[in-house]
Structure 1
């Protein structure tokens, strides 16, 4: 087989794996492939293809990762290669999986619930203050104040945001959803948007992962940064009128999840919060902001139910309880306890 990695990635696309997942696999598999192709690095002293590699070559590659990456990252990379071999063996393209025993004998393991970097509210306040671009600041503050996932943020449209501002009302069609009637200063996060499906007239490149739609209060700080962003927001190319759109190469196009990750990574690097080879325990990413939101709001409110409601990941009975009392308990508890960032 001339390019086993491309074959595998194409099959994963047919199986419905997201672009982000495929890109992550490709980065690791191409790195593994380059290691095998370097005849001076492997134990055989020869350049090999993945199909030709054996257990010892796989062991040597894993060993080459140690010291450069966190143990959980080493385990994750090894699991990617293991899944690649397992699949290629199962479909009959390869004869065996040389990574099977290597993974079984590794000391490293994937930490599914890592102890993350502890960042205080004052430290996060300093981080936010370092971000001057209105779009980038609005993206970061929205993630921090709402706990939404990066895909959910990118799927927001103008109709999902209700703000009481006469100037904005004359220029933008904000808060057009019936779910926002009587709920000023709030954000509607839907459950329906899915990658590859058309939603509000536009095919989406990311999925929302909420079990149920959620209405999240917008406090004065978030309202302020969103107004600053809307003041310079270019015209959108999509009739769906995305809330966040690109102001760079893809001018006017809905902001992508990768663009958000790039923004957060760049600022986190500048702040010393992102290192190459670092895992979830070290690096600040968009998902870290969801962790920050959950931890700090839960500690401040002592009310796990409201935090779960705001995250949109709870059972329907709890969702319904807070949905029906949204204007009272949810908003008052949120506004009384949400941290100040500006």
Structure 2
């Protein structure tokens, strides 16, 4: 397949509120591929809240003028000499985890998500808000041909991180799960939990999100600060709002677990031991994911076929997608899809 010498993409020119349009379009050469690299023609890229945190400065940039985006669905244009399992013309996905050292005690123990030298797509290496992207084949996923590009893209982070959050939440079989916030990851994770036999209660501020939760099979849907209709065995906090941590802990039954799924969270207010943690309630964080998580989630999603509620945007309107996400105007998952050409410089 033809490999163009130059590509274009969006970069975080400066950190600023999304309404001030911190992204800028640039052109850059496509250099020689490394031995394990895939060159992808990007067909779709999900818009994750992590991208918003990077653009607005909640996460310090790791590289200057980085291209965001880590839910990349593309066609393979070229492969490095040591790539196995991918060939030009095939469909591939690149996700948040872009690389690890492979030799530290965390990697050796199967906990590569905690690798101190881990690297991330759209943070340490250029991501998918672009016409083309380069990914390490050892951290990429072969994708099936059936589903639409924009339906697959959110699975590659929102789905995978939600899967890990659900595992960290230690939900017992047939248990009662509380889901706080109901964006891209939460709407996929709730469906996964329901497919496993859980009773899901959604607590979120948006009326449209509450309607979507009920449509997808949630047993109830209330405001984020409401008490659920029954005590919870487990809960997952997707909203990046630290004030909701004590709210969710109080909603847990004895022995329950709260998992905080985001990479960024506003400050957590003071907790009272007897009110929030006593009776063996557990508070856990979720840090990135492993490749095993990704493979396991994609296989499970292929079996239960989640409804992916997508709001598509042309790649040329990446700034609009981030601004809409920042103001809560997106229900489900925002996804950038390839359009006919780059916007004007």
- The structure with the largest helix share of the pair is 1
Does TM, normalized by the shorter one, top 0.5? no
Query: Highest CA radius of gyration, 1 or 2?
Result: 1
How high is the TM-score relative to the length of structure 1?
0.25
Tell me which protein shows more strand as a share of its residues.
2
Alignment TM-score, normalising by the size of structure 2: 0.24
